[in-house]
A and B are shown apart, each in its own frame.
Chain A
Amino acid sequence: MVIVPPSIDLAAVGPELILTGAASLLLLVGVFLKEQSRFLNPWIALLGVILAAGCASSSLFPHTTFQGMYAADLFTRFFKLLFLLGTGMTILISIKYTADEQIEHAEYYALLLFATIGMMLMAAASDLVTVFLGIETLSLSLYVLAGYTRTRLVSNEASLKYFLLGGFATGFLLYGIALIYGSTGHTNLAKIAYAVSHGNLNTGLLTIGALLLLVGLGFKVAAVPFHQWTPDVYQGAPIPVTAFMSAGPKAAVLAVMIRVFEQSIAFMNVDWTVWITILAILTMTVGNIAALVQSDAKRMLAFSSISHAGYAMVGMAAASREGSSAVLYYMLVYTFMNIGAFGILALVARQNEQRTAMRDFTGFAYKNPALAFIMTILVFSLAGIPPMAGFMAKFYIFMSAIKAGQNFLVLAAVLNSAIGIYYYLRFAIYMYMKEDEAPSTLPPLRASLGLILALVISLYGVIRLGVLPAEYLDFAGKALLTF
């Protein structure tokens, strides 16, 4: 017997290989070089990210490789670039933070890169095995990153909670996959779709499997009612890690959801959009109402990130190509604006994250007018006020849902946006309209080079995608064509 080696297209996984190389290099540099070389770490990671982005943006012919387990198409490419953007910005806002907190280890940056590889695998997954491997590569890195400030008890707790609930979710996800495999006989998404539409199979088993899979993915994307871990983990984790977790990993799970539900399960004679609609309404409402009553800015941003996942799911519930491309656009915009906002929060919080409360923004506009202005633009965008990108992103999502006849869902989403405007504007109120009661003895805040770079990228994205969205929207639309 001769086994024919599978066709493997290494060029398709070029970005992953580059990041793996960079992460391995970081680990070795971390142990073989002296402590003085620590300042190199973020730059090695950044170089890896830039090279990977260059590799990812090269032209490609849509195809699947690794025995149909890995889809190298425009959808994958869109998400790869989105993740690299998120990781690059996270590294930029991490440079000063890690130096201040003395966690400037090579491992921190290596873990960020490993997490990015996991996200890329998720976006490219055309097989449930790849989905699982991607999710776990991402999750395992995030568990450690959440607890990276080892001496801070809240960080430890965040890590433990994330780990235990993440593992719990993995169990559901896997059981769902096993049942889907049992009823269709395949783990490959295209083959599952074929079996679902042609075969006469055990629909009960398949439905339970798909539901369990949705529960597992719901945990990972922090959809209500599977969100309980999110606020605690986001609050306890180091701020740059929270920024990272709130953007890329959510987009990655949504990518998996789009692929799995619209490509495979869609052919099932069960209306899965009902499930997504319920999740979307709960997620938006609970996230927003909880964000409303927070006095801690970090925790507020955590709850608001839950609600943003809800808005994105509105686009999924539309179950159309237009809806999905609106989700892609939304996540891109969200990555730009949210990581920038967290970057400013990291600056305001100072050493050891002592000052993350809303009132710590009091009078920020008088001491740092430029930064306060940028923060205002970012929170306006997060709230969805035109002409910022956040508005356009919400607009496309809602339009696609209206076209799909989901009027009630859109009504709920619009009401939620109104709540969102209220609590996001509190940032502006604290910064501009409140005077510091007592003159502060703290040293003045100065933005580091990394933060400035990240904010420039953030501002570019928020304004460019808000004013001239056509090009990027086209990019997101095309990504859905070669599914």
Chain B
Amino acid sequence: MDMPVPLHHYLILSGILFSVGVVGVLTRRNAIVVYMCIELMLNSVNLTLIAFSRQLGDLNGQLFTFMVMAVAAAEAAVGLGIIIALFRNRQSVDVDDVNLLKG
């Protein structure tokens, strides 16, 4: 299909976003920020899927994106719940403080 912006631009952008997310997860210490980086990874996947979907002229990629969005929302709810539960018990959301279990 004819695309005004070529496919590889989307792929490079989403690759960069994904990498930013990965680096963020590995380096950030605040649990909520780490979670935001995970969301960034998921959204870069969405971008990849939609770019491919458009390129291939196939709707399955967009359908997949809907699923990813819905699941990401559920994950956000669960994640915030877990972070709040931890915060209530220890008044901090720093992952470095999560150290009772040797790991």
Contacts and interface: CB of A to CB of B under 8 A. Distances in A.
Direct contact of A and B (CB under 8 A): yes
Interface of A: 128-129, 132-133, 136, 140, 143-144, 147, 150-151, 153-154, 156-161, 163-164, 167-168, 170-171, 174-175, 177-179, 181-182, 185-187, 228-229, 231-232, 235-236
Nearest to A187: B60
22 contacts: A129-B64, A133-B71, A140-B75, A143-B79, A144-B78, A151-B89, A153-B90, A156-B85, A156-B90, A159-B85, A159-B86, A160-B82, A160-B98, A164-B34, A164-B35, A168-B38, A171-B21, A174-B42, A174-B45, A181-B49, A182-B52, A236-B101
Interface in B48-90: 48-49, 51-52, 55-56, 58, 60-61, 63-64, 67-68, 71, 74-75, 78-79, 81-83, 85-86, 89-90
Contact of B67 (A132, A163, A231): A132
B95 interface: yes
A253 B75 CA distance: 19
B89 to A, nearest CB: 5
Given A153-B100, A178-B49, A160 B31 contact: yes
A164 B96 CA distance: 13
Nearest to B65: A178
B101 A235 contact: yes
A234 to B, nearest CB: 10
Contacts of A156: 82, 85-86, 89-90
B4 interface: no
A171 B45 contact: yes
Contacts of A140: 71, 74-75, 78
B15 to A, nearest CB: 9
A178 B42 contact: no
Query: Across chains A and B, which 7 residue pairs bring their CB atoms closest together, nearest first?
Result: A171-B41, A182-B52, A232-B101, A167-B38, A178-B48, A174-B45, A232-B103
Contacts of A154: 100-101
A156 B18 CA distance: 28
Contact of A167 (B55, B79, B81, B90): B79
Given A129-B63, A167-B75, A175-B41, 16 more contacts: A140-B74, A157-B100, A160-B98, A161-B98, A161-B103, A163-B78, A164-B25, A167-B35, A168-B25, A178-B61, A181-B61, A185-B58, A228-B103, A232-B102, A232-B103, A236-B100
Contact of A171 (B18, B56, B89, B100): B18
Given A154-B100, A160-B98, A187 B64 contact: yes
A164 B83 CA distance: 10
Contacts of A147: 82, 85
Contacts of B81: 144
A179 B98 contact: no
A182 B79 CA distance: 30
A198 B22 CA distance: 35
A232 B101 CA distance: 6
Interface string B31-46: 1001100100110110
Contacts of B45: 171, 174-175, 177-178
A436 B45 CA distance: 57
A174 B68 contact: yes
Contacts of B64: 128-129, 132, 177-178, 181, 187
B78 to A, nearest CB: 5
Given A132-B67, A151-B89, A175 B75 contact: no
